[in-house]
Amino acid sequence: MKIGILGYGRLGKEVESEARSHSGLETVGIFADKTNNNYPPFIYDTSEIYGFVGEIDTIIICENEGCSDPLSVAKYAEYFNTVDYCRDRDNILEYFKEVDCAAKCGRNSSVISAGWDSGLIALYRMYDDLMCGISSKTSINNEYESHFKDISKTGPATVQNRNTKLIKRVNSDIYIMAKIMIAYAKAAYRQRIFGNYGAFTVFDLRLKDMCGICKEKLIEQFL
């Protein structure tokens, strides 16, 4: 699979590094807005990305702007499979619809919100709902939001419960987020191969599409 990386901040660099450890994964190009930044010569300007249509299978979007504006992601989803880490939960349904329409138009597959929040943590919220009941949803969300505020101000909060342990580990290690993004990039690529076009979330995709391990191996190794 051939990937492109959009954005070359901390996450983009970590995705680039992580991609080298995956056999069968090739980074064809790294793109960033070079207008006001002194990037290395091997970085392409964002405007050059469309010259790679047909050469790149999946774009991993690691820039903040590309993960907050649905129209920004949609313009790429029409030409490439994409993965992003959108965290705008207030407008997430509108975001999904915009990307879904563009991806279907281009016969591509896009995974939205595939980072740790909302991606990985969204799965955790869902499992909490299943175990604790829908009536506890508000208190669960408030608990998460409280932890996120603590993390943004002072770093990972030291609270002894299972939710905080997960948040602390993922937030403190950006390389885990890079691993998540690459796993979902593989899933997006496989969805397109299967003829499943449009936008997908962490709720839609199978674990085996992310890891590429056959069902028998998954059962033998993890079940």
Q: What does the pLDDT look like over 2-35, one tens digit per residue? A: 999 999 998 999 999 999 999 889 999 999 988 8
| pLDDT exceeds cutoff 80 at 210 | yes
| Residue 157: predicted pLDDT | 44
| Residue 188: predicted pLDDT | 95
Domain ranges (residues) in the chain: 2-116+175-208, 117-172
Mean pLDDT, range 180-201, rounded to an integer: 95
- What is the reported pTM? 0.80
Give yes or no for a contact between 62 and 7, defined as CB atoms under 8 angstroms apart. yes
Q: What is the mean pLDDT of the chain?
A: 82
Mean pLDDT, range 182-201, rounded to an integer: 95
Mean pLDDT, range 125-153, rounded to an integer: 60
Nearest C-alpha neighbor of 112 from the set 143, 139, 158, 77: 77
| Residue 139: predicted pLDDT | 52
Q: Contacts for 168-173 with beta carbons within 8 Å, 24 or more apart?
A: 170/116, 170/120, 170/121, 171/116
CATH number (3.40.50.720, 3.90.1150.10, 3.30.360.10, 1.10.3720.10) of 2-116+175-208 reads: 3.40.50.720
The reply to whether omega before 135 is within 30° of 0 (cis) is no
* Confidence band for 70, pLDDT divided at 50, 70 and 90: low
